[in-house]
Amino acid sequence: WEQTPVQSAITSPPHGSSLPATADQVKVKGYAYSGGGRDIARVEVSSDGGTTWQPATLTPPPKWDGTHQYSWRLWEAAVPIPADGGLQPVALCCRAVDDSYNTQPETVAALWNVRGLLNNSWHRIQLNRH
């Protein structure tokens, strides 16, 4: 029986958004999901392309039957921005872990297929500084 792999995505800020060069953190929001009735255990967000990670706060799950979770989990985090970046773009990414400790792979390399099906690698966006 096929089940959707654990996945997460950043929904705010949008890819390509601008940040002031003096900003020391950014508020990031998104969603996470895992198939097979598994709940999301945690989501982490990075502002340096995946070198360091900050935990995100998960919203409480909606109506739960005590054994299975069949809904998206929203999350948010205030993520520090590297101070030494100057006007370099900020590389945000997120990753999720479900309650069976399934994780998202770092890249699509091991998952690649011609149709792009079930690509659940870390979601990445870039923010520009001005």
What pLDDT, in 10s, does the model give residues 85-116? 678 899 999 999 999 999 999 998 888 888 87
pLDDT-derived band at 65 (thresholds 50, 70, 90) equals: low
Question: pTM of the full predicted structure?
Answer: 0.89
pLDDT for residue 83: 78
Q: How far apart are CA 72 and CA 85, in angstroms?
A: 34
Burial 80-93 (b: 16+ CB within 10 A, else e): ebeeeeeeeebbbb
Q: What is the pLDDT of residues 10-51, one digit of tens each?
A: 999 999 999 988 889 999 999 999 988 888 999 999 999 999
